Amino acid sequence: MSAEVRTVAVGLVGARGYVGAELIRLIDRHPVFELAYVGSRELAGQRVADHHPDCRSELRYTAPDLDELPQLQADAVVLALPNGMAGAAVSAFDRVGAAPVIVDLSADYRFDAAWHYGLPELDRSGHAGQRRISNPGCYATAMQLAIAPMLGLLAGPVQCFGVSGWSGAGTSPSDRSNPAKLRDNLMPYSLAGHVHEREVAHRLGQAIEFMPHVAPHFRGLTVTANLHLTSPVSLDAVLERYRQRYAEEPLVRVLDDAPWVSCIAGRHHVEIGGHTLDASGQRLVVVATLDNLLKGAATQALQNLNLAFGLDEWLGIPLNVDGDAD
């Protein structure tokens, strides 16, 4: 790292959740970013290190009112709030003309043309210097990366069957975050019109039919995408499209076999594989897995922060050959 690179102060709002915990760890270890404040009403006053023993920061959780956020003067703010709550925080900065980099992890700005949609692997151009960044959804990331190499060859809607660990439901109590109810079970929900279905259709300009489910495991998701093609293709041609598209992407790995969700937990990349054609050559099935808390949220937020401040996109993200987990 160049000695000329200054420290960048990053504030976290809504840091009690599972994604907030991952962001604390990533930012605490980052060579340029440092935690400016960590917001959580439930944990206010408690030491961050008491909840994250490997955290070097001496900060305590705080609970500032949203109107107080601009006064904290962080260079960047990550909003890890439930859907529908980001607007009040953004308005607090707008009212006083403050302009930190804001990365919103909710769905609130994913359809707003004034915000940059931060899926670097598919749209890196124009990313540097962005001040308002909407972090893609976890399922939406997996679906887009699984489908994108075949755009232009698709006929009709793409069907996506998704299964996620229960951490994707957040920390608020519900059937979808209740391990006892999920034991030996697979729980379907929002089988038509899910926000990630609309998000992917909006971003790719492609009709999507998404059917999500929750499983008993804690973290990691898998998407099986069923793509109908306009003309027959060979499996070699399909694999070449995927390998060329992601050849320079360290956080996307194209596999020969179908990826297992158990192998992606705790890792920062996406795995895409299991490419299968039917006898006609016009129906392709592809499987994508990622950790919903990392590449589906926190790791992607770190990519977006790095790009916003002109840093190496993968700075602070483990890129081990045999696995990303520390």
CB crowding 118-132: b at 16 or more within 10 Å, else e: bbbbbeeeebeebeb
Rounded-to-integer distance, Cα 301 and Cα 282, Å: 36
- In sequence order, the β-bridge partners of residue 103 are 78, 133
Which pLDDT tens digit goes with each residue over 76-85? 999 999 899 9
Is 138 designated active site?
yes
47 C-beta neighbours (distance < 10 Å), count: 14
Report whether 252 contacts 145 (CB < 8 A).
yes
Rounded-to-integer distance, Cα 291 and Cα 297, Å: 9
Beta strands in the chain (DSSP E): 8-13, 33-39, 61-62, 76-79, 101-104, 116-117, 132-134, 158-164, 187-188, 208-214, 221-228, 252-254, 270-277, 283-290
Q: Which of 55, 138, 160, 263 is catalytic?
A: 138
- In sequence order, the β-bridge partners of residue 163 are 213, 222
Superfamily grouping for domain 138-292? Dihydrodipicolinate Reductase; domain 2 (3.30.360.10)
pLDDT digits (tens), the chain, 326 positions: 444 568 999 999 987 788 999 999 999 999 999 999 999 988 999 999 999 988 888 999 999 998 999 999 899 999 999 899 999 999 999 999 999 999 999 999 999 999 999 999 999 887 878 999 999 999 999 999 999 999 999 999 999 999 999 886 555 556 666 777 778 889 999 899 999 999 999 999 999 999 999 999 889 999 999 999 999 999 999 999 999 999 999 999 999 999 999 999 999 999 999 999 999 999 999 999 999 999 999 999 999 999 999 999 999 999 874 544 44
Longest dimension (CA), the chain: 63
pLDDT at position 1, please? 46
**In the numeric block, which tokens belong to residue 163?**
């299964």
Which pLDDT tens digit goes with each residue over 290-316? 999 999 999 999 999 999 999 999 999
Q: Where are the domains of the chain?
A: 8-136+295-308, 138-292
Strand (E) or helix (H) holding 43: none
- In sequence order, the β-bridge partners of residue 273 are 287
Report whether 40 contacts 20 (CB < 8 A).
yes
Q: Which of 135, 232, 214, 219 is nearest to 174 (CA)?
A: 214
Rounded-to-integer distance, Cα 234 and Cα 246, Å: 19
Contacts of 126 (CB under 8 A, 6+ apart): 116
Rounded-to-integer distance, Cα 147 and Cα 169, Å: 24
253 C-beta neighbours (distance < 10 Å), count: 16
**Measured between alpha carbons, how far is residue 88 from residues 27, 76, 94, 131 in Å?**
24, 17, 10, 17
CATH-assigned architecture of domain 8-136+295-308: 3-Layer(aba) Sandwich (3.40)
Residue 240 phi/psi, 5-degree rounding, is -65, -40
pLDDT at position 184, please? 86
